């Protein structure tokens, strides 16, 4: 059973189809004497249904349903599926697990013995048929192979919803009440977009892109900006109440609100849901790295289009020859970036005809001119 669990959870959860394939490949034909190599019995993995029964029998504490506890006052179309643990219950369970030595790891204490330092992290991302998924993770510092080992993260909350939906906002309030009752707490969300929401600010893709300074795309070279913009919250609330009485579409209201916030040279939309716990926040600059990769890819794509010298008569990507499409093929098959390659093909098909007309109007003859116009 232990060997089967090790196979099932090796690297990541194998899933039913993959585990059953491994199970089938590991089943050898027995000899006449029903013995294996050197007359030793051949160990076999446990069948999938027996393994799942054993996993479900492991006590993991109380599990609460998101739809029943956090969406009970919402319409059916607003309810989301998911589950979560109580933070206090899970921490006690994990502490007992590590102190019992069952985890097989030595616990390194920071100063006082038997005092754990805990971190929480959250992120949302596109995921399968549900389009978006959101998860909260909890971990103890200095456990396992190093500080905050990625192998020692445990799922605290998981649901098929966006990271700022109503159910998640309600869970934040539940989690906050638990955090406030735990001493020596450290709260650590994953990336800048998440921090923006927890700070009550517009997302990092807005004009004011930094969660830690009053800086925008217009004056990002100036370094004497200030921290904190809670004074804007009251004015934003008044504007929202004003718009609530007017017959405006949601998109129009949102556009006016974000424009108003930008006019005050701020990003703050509402008070931080975490209250004073927001002071314990720690950033992992995921979106900064994404922006850097996006810029690098923009320059790379410009060079690729220029080198390919795609004729102006080409209207869709399907008309491009294999040698000119090697960049997309490499990205899709070798780099395993199928989603990005599909987006580039879609972008090419949608903009090609429009950009071609622009180039013909300007009488551009250099293929590099076409490349620059298309990428811009």
Tens digits of per-residue pLDDT, 171-195? 988 888 888 877 655 545 445 666 6
The answer to whether 93 and 58 have CB atoms below 8 angstroms apart is no
> How far apart are the C-alpha atoms of 166 and 52, rounded to whole Å?
33
> How far apart are the C-alpha atoms of 281 and 309, rounded to whole Å?
49
Tens digits of per-residue pLDDT, 1-49? 888 888 888 766 777 888 888 888 775 555 555 555 556 666 778 888 8
pLDDT band of residue 83 (cuts 50, 70, 90) is very high
Q: Coil, helix or strand for 118?
A: strand
What residues does each domain of the chain span?
Answer: 2-57, 64-185, 287-375
pTM given for the model: 0.50
Tens digits of per-residue pLDDT, 242-270? 888 888 888 888 888 888 888 887 778 88
Tens digits of per-residue pLDDT, 225-243? 555 567 788 888 888 888 8
Sign of CA dihedral 277, 278, 279, 284: positive
């Amino acid at each position: 059973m232990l060997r089967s669990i090790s196979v099932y959870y090796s690297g990541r959860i194998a899933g039913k189809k993959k585990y059953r394939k491994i199970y089938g490949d590991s089943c050898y034909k027995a000899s006449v004497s029903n013995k294996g190599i050197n007359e030793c019995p051949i160990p076999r993995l446990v069948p999938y249904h027996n393994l799942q029964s054993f996993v479900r029998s492991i006590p993991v504490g109380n599990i609460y349903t998101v739809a029943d506890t956090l969406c009970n006052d919402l319409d059916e179309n607003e309810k989301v599926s998911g589950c979560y643990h109580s933070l206090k219950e899970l921490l006690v369970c994990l502490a007992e697990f590590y102190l019992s030595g069952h985890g097989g790891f030595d616990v390194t204490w920071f100063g006082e013995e038997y005092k754990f330092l805990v971190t929480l992290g959250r992120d949302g991302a596109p995921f399968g048929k549900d389009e978006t998924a959101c998860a909260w993770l909890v971990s103890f510092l200095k456990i396992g192979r190093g500080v905050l080992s990625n192998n020692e993260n445990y799922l605290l909350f998981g649901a098929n919803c966006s990271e700022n939906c109503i159910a998640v906002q309600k869970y934040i309030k539940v989690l906050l009440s638990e955090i406030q009752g735990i001493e020596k707490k450290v709260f650590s969300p994953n990336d800048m977009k998440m921090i923006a929401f927890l700070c009550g600010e517009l997302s990092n893709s807005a004009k004011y892109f930094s969660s830690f300074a009053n800086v925008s795309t217009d004056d990002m070279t100036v370094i004497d900006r200030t921290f904190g913009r809670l004074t804007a919250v009251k004015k934003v609330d008044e504007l929202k109440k004003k718009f609530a009485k007017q017959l405006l579409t949601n998109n129009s209201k949102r556009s006016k609100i974000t424009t108003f916030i930008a006019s005050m040279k701020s990003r703050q939309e509402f008070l931080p849901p975490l209250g004073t716990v927001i002071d314990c926040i720690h950033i992992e600059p995921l979106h900064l790295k994404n922006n850097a990769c996006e810029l690098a890819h923009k320059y790379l794509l410009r060079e690729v289009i220029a080198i390919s010298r795609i004729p102006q008569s080409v209207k869709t990507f399907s008309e491009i020859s294999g040698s000119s499409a090697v960049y997309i093929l490499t990205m899709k098959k070798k780099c395993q970036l199928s989603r990005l390659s599909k987006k580039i093909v879609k972008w090419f098909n949608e903009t090609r005809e429009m950009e071609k007309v622009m180039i013909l109007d300007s009488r551009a003859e250099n293929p590099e001119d076409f490349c620059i116009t298309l990428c811009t």
